[in-house]
Structure 1
Amino acid sequence: MSESKTEVDVPSTSGAKVVIDSVIPTMSEETLSAVRRESPQDASSFHNCNFRVLSQFVSITDLHFKERSFSVFTELSLAPLHPELRQICLNVGPDVMLPNEFPDGVIGRVTVNDEDAEYIRMDPLKILSHKAEQSLNSLSRDMYDELEDCEGELLINVPESCYVLMDEQKVIKIGIDIRVVNPKHGIHFVCSFSDDDTLESGAHMYTYRNTFYLFWSGTLSSTRHWLPCLDTPDQLCLWRIEATVDLMFTVVASGELFVSTSLLL
C-alpha cells in the first residue's frame, strides 16, 4: 500500500486543523522567566491553569473511512508556572478514547517525560444528575457554574521521578496515545461506499468548531473532541502536525508546509 506523509507547522490556538515530528523546544531561562511573569495575569483568564503550553505535536495515523476512525499520538511541551505542580489538567471530549479505554490488544500510554503516568477522565457535569432541583433554570445555572470551575476533563498525575523538574519549573513533555472512532463532534467524515464496499471518490474528512454551546454534550464542539489539548482561546502555542494517509488523499492545513513524502509499503 502506498502512503503519503505531510508535516505542517501551525502557529495557532487549540483550534488546530491537522499533524508533526516530535521536537522539544529549547528555551532560555530569560524566555521562561518572561512566560512566567506574564502568565499569572494573562495566561489563564479563561482557565484555572498552573502551566503554559509552549508547543503541541500531533501525529495522525490509521485513518479508516469505513470505521470513521483514526489514531493520534500527541506531545505537549509545558512550562510549569508554579513549583510543586503535581497534576496536569487537559481538555478531552467524550469521543476521544484514552489508553485505558482501548479494546484488548491495543496498546497506548500517557507519559510525563517518557515516564508512565496515572490518569483519570473527569466528567464536570456528572454532579448535575444528582441535583435535587431539576428545573431548567437551576440546571442551566449549575451547568455553567460547573463548567466555569472545571480545570479539564483529563487529570494526569505527575510521576515522583519528575517532581524535581516540576519544582525547578523546567519544560516537561506530556505524551498521550488516543483513538477516535465515529466521532459525534469536532470531526466530520464525508464518504460513501459502493455495493462491493469500495470507497467512492470524493471521500474526505475535516475538523470544525461549533461556537454554540451544545447542552446535550456538555461542551462546545471543538478541538478537544478529537485531541487532548488545552482548549482555551488564551493559550497560544506552536502546533506541528503530521498526517499519514493513503496516496489517494491530500492533507490540507493552515500553516507552513514542512515536508511531504511518499512511502511504498
Structure 2
Amino acid sequence: MMKKEKPGECQRPFKVAHQIVSLTGINFQRKSIIGCVEITILPLKDSLRTIKLNAKQCRIYRVSLNDTIEAPFQYFDPFLDITHDNELDARRSLDFFSSAHLAAALQTDPDNASGELVITIPPEAAGIVQEGRNLRVGVELSLEQPQGGVHFVIPEGEGSLAERGAHMFTYCYENSSRLWFPCVDSFSEPCTWRLEFTVDESMTAVSCGDLLEVVYTPDMRRKTFYYSLNVPASAPNIALAVGPFEIYVDPYMHEVT
C-alpha cells in the first residue's frame, strides 16, 4: 500500500533513490556533450502514469525503463514560447513578460510535480508501478553549443588543447543542473550518485564524491573517471570540471586531492 501524502508535502508521485550520470563524449571543438543518465525512482502512488523530469538545452534520443522497455516521451520548454508569443510582441509590457515567465516556471517546477521532459509509462511497466518496485529510467541525450550551465574555454594559439589550457566547467545558479543532464532539479530531492566522465588522455575530470578509479580505453587515447557520492545530494549540487589539471596531494590530508 502506497503511503498517504500529508498536506504541504511535495506533490511529486515518486522518490528518486539513485542517479547515474555517464558523459562519454565531451568534445571541445564542437562544444558538445553526449551521454546518458539512469534515474532509479520509487513510485509513491500506484496511479503513477507519467514521470516528469527537468531537461533544458538537451536533445533527447531515447527513454527506456529497466533497460528493456521503450517509453514514449515528450519534450517542451515553455520559456521558448515567451519570446515567440505574438501577444507579448504586441503588448511589449514588462509586467506581462514577468507574469508569462512565472507561468512558464510553474509549468516546469519539479516541486510542483512538473518538468520539461514528460515520460509516459507504457502498459508493460504498469505492474512494476502497482507493486511499488523500483523503476530505472534511462535517458540518452546530447548537448551542443550550450547557452548556459556549461562553459567551454578554448584559448587560441598553437599546440594541442591541453597545451593551450582548454577546459570546461559547469556553473550553478538555482536549478541549473537541468541545463546539462536530465534530473529532478530540486533541492528537495537528494539521492546517491554515480558519476562517469570519459575524456581525452591529457585531460582530468573533477566532480563530486569519491574518485573510485580511472580506466583507460584499449588504445590509451581516452580515460573514464568514476566517482561515487554515497551521501545523498540534490541535483543542483552536482558539478563537473574538465581540463589539463595537475593533481596535488595535500601532505597533511593525503586522502583528499
Tell me which interval the TM-score lies in, with the shorter structure as reference length: 0.7 to 0.9
Residue of structure 2 in register with 1:110 after alignment = 63
The answer on 1:75 being equivalent to 2:33 is: no
Structure 2 counterpart of 1:183, from 141, 146, 155 = 146
Residue of structure 2 in register with 1:87 after alignment = 50
Superposed, 1:10-89 pairs within 5 Å as 40=6, 44=10, 48-89=11-52
The answer on 1:96 being equivalent to 2:50 is: no
Alpha-carbon contact 2:156-2:164 (below 8 Å) kept: no
Residue of structure 2 in register with 1:139 after alignment = 97
Structure 2 counterpart of 1:261, from 215, 231, 234 = 215
1:239 Cα deviation from its structure 2 partner:
1.3
Superposed, 1:183-262 pairs within 5 Å as 183-194=146-157, 198-199=160-161, 200-211=163-174, 222-262=176-216
Amino acid of the structure 1 residue aligned with 2:95: N
Residue of structure 2 in register with 1:153 after alignment = 116
Q: 1: CA distance between counterparts of 2:20 and 2:6? A: 25
1:123 Cα deviation from its structure 2 partner:
2.3
Alpha-carbon contact 1:39-1:52 (below 8 Å) kept: no
Identity rate of aligned residues, in percent?
30
1:247 Cα deviation from its structure 2 partner:
1.6
Q: 1: CA distance between counterparts of 2:170 and 2:64? A: 26
Judged with a 3 Å threshold, the aligned counterparts in structure 2 of structure 1 residues 206 and 162 are, in CA distance, closer, same or farther, namely same
Corresponding residue pairs, total: 208
1:259 Cα deviation from its structure 2 partner:
1.7
1:242 Cα deviation from its structure 2 partner:
0.7
Unpaired runs of 5+ residues, structure 1, are: 1-32, 100-108, 212-219
The answer on 1:123 being equivalent to 2:108 is: no
1:146 Cα deviation from its structure 2 partner:
3.4
Judged with a 3 Å threshold, the aligned counterparts in structure 2 of structure 1 residues 82 and 202 are, in CA distance, closer, same or farther, namely same
Amino acid of the structure 2 residue aligned with 1:96: C
1:39 Cα deviation from its structure 2 partner:
6.5
1:41 Cα deviation from its structure 2 partner:
5.5
Runs of 4+ in 1 over 3 A off after TM superposition: 36-43, 125-128, 130-134
What RMSD, in angstroms, separates the aligned Cα atoms of the two structures? 2.3
Q: 2: CA distance between counterparts of 1:201 and 1:57? A: 31
Q: 2: CA distance between counterparts of 1:198 and 1:259? A: 26
Q: 2: CA distance between counterparts of 1:228 and 1:244? A: 18
1:168 Cα deviation from its structure 2 partner:
1.7
Judged with a 3 Å threshold, the aligned counterparts in structure 2 of structure 1 residues 126 and 193 are, in CA distance, closer, same or farther, namely closer
The answer on 1:173 being equivalent to 2:106 is: no
Q: 1: CA distance between counterparts of 2:136 and 2:9? A: 19
Unpaired runs of 5+ residues, structure 2, are: 109-113, 220-257
1:177 Cα deviation from its structure 2 partner:
0.6
Residue of structure 2 in register with 1:26 after alignment = none
Alpha-carbon contact 1:190-1:205 (below 8 Å) kept: yes
Q: 2: CA distance between counterparts of 1:251 and 1:146? A: 34
Alpha-carbon contact 2:152-2:169 (below 8 Å) kept: yes
Residue of structure 2 in register with 1:25 after alignment = none
Residues 208-241 of structure 1, C-alpha deviation per residue, up to 9 Å, x if partnerless? 1124xxxxxxxx6x11011010101100011110
Judged with a 3 Å threshold, the aligned counterparts in structure 2 of structure 1 residues 249 and 85 are, in CA distance, closer, same or farther, namely same
Partner SS for 2:165: coil
Q: 1: CA distance between counterparts of 2:81 and 2:203? A: 43
Instruction: With the length of structure 2 as denominator, give the TM-score of the two structures.
Output: 0.73
Alpha-carbon contact 1:112-1:173 (below 8 Å) kept: yes
